Structure 1
């Protein structure tokens, strides 16, 4: 067999192996879906909101490190924030944690998972944890320390009216008889959900938000603190295609 013929066989095999995440040359990938469920007690009974999001984890080997990037693990969270209608036209949103490790790290991993020590043993542990989570089908309570940011809007059509909600005191925002009962996280085979945020917020919501943000920044005094609404971003609500 000629060298050219051998290369024609070997190269596609190598590329296929790399893309499939089989671990060849130290590259690995894992994928799973997580379902966030918010349960709120109201004077009219329990209200439940859910969202199924997708998680991807990637490992690149130490030799693939370029400058400050690569050579370790990275992750992505795609989907939309869970939302529950707690009263007529009053909604509670549990924002995505795209700026942080996914909440699942504190729910489905041992505490040592917060360590980012790039040792061979730690690599082996993270691979094993990812293998276990990927095949897991279980629901657990999210601890208060890992709660997502909770947000509501005084006027749903006005992005500038976004307010942060204290998970321990929903009554201060919605009135007597409102209480956050639980926020749960499940590793699930259910497909990623989409469209609920668009349905609740309406078309053009984030375009309006962007226009309000730009106007606020333009008119703000130097070093002034941004209003809460403009410390948020679209990716806190919807991330990924």
Structure 2
């Protein structure tokens, strides 16, 4: 069993200076023994999207997803270019997680992270969601906006709560689509592919 919290932080350069936001996520992973196939593993991520308020009045959100070892990250505390990738059998995976905690490791995830970065034209309208190009934030917000870093660090702080104050429409499981009128489509929009669970997931 592996059970740990880590703080995800997003740093953005704006025309008015640097701004950042963070949120604590919790990952639980466990090994399931099977008599015929050996074992399989499963995990569960709880928490809420990282929010960063920009000086132009918009808020960007780093969506839930991935985990500390799954990004093909490199460690800020390792020599330049050396990659830190958790892999191997489950017991070895747990050991690598424990090693990260022991070093209080900071993990840069910007280049390898799969998490989407999004914003809303209208925070009250979930269907108005748009994706931000991590490599070219100025395309969404104009000159002077640039993603500087996304990084993770183990923490003993509790999982972050309160995103509903910003996204008042957020619901609970079964996590409907952001487009309330969604019907099956061969070419779904972003709002049709995202669910409430991409912004918040808890066991409660």
1:71-129 per-position Cα deviation (integer Å, ceiling 9, x unaligned): 222111100010101124301100001xxx4243333784461x6xxxxxx24422322
**Residue matched to 1:157:** 124
The answer for unaligned runs of 5 or more in structure 1 is 1-28, 116-121
User: 1:176-191 counterparts in 2 under 5 A?
Assistant: 176-191=143-158
Structure 1: distance between partners of 2:101 and 2:34: 23
1:232 has 2:194 as partner: yes
1:21 alignment counterpart: none
The gaps in structure 2 that reach 5 residues or longer are: 76-82
Matched residue SS, 1:40: strand
Query: In the alignment, is the contact (CA less than 8 A) between 2:4 and 2:26 conserved in 1?
Result: yes
RMSD: 2.6
1:33 CA displacement: 0.4
Larger Rg: 1
Q: 2 CA distance for matches of 1:205 and 1:72?
A: 33
1:57–1:64 distance in 2 versus 1, CA, 3 Å: farther
Residue matched to 1:96: 64
Q: Is the 8 A contact 1:104 1:185 kept in 2?
A: no
Residues 134/238 of structure 1: CA separation in 2 closer, same or farther (3 Å cut): same
Q: Which residue of 1 aligns with 2:78?
A: none
Contact 1:136 1:187 in 2 (8 A): no
Q: Which structure carries more strand by proportion?
A: 2
- Do the aligned residues in 1 keep the contact of 2:69 with 2:86 (CA within 8 Å)? no
TM superposition score normalised by structure 2: 0.82
Distance (Å, rounded) in 1 between the aligned partners of 2:138 and 2:190: 20
Match of 1:127 among 91, 94, 118: 94
Secondary structure, aligned partner of 1:89: coil
**1:8 paired residue number:** none
Counterpart of 1:31? 3
Distance 1:212 1:144, change over 3 A: closer
**Partner residue of 1:148?**
115
Q: Is the 8 A contact 2:170 2:196 kept in 1?
A: no
The secondary structure found in structure 1 opposite 2:179 is helix
Give the number of the structure whose residues are more often helix, by fraction. Answer: 1
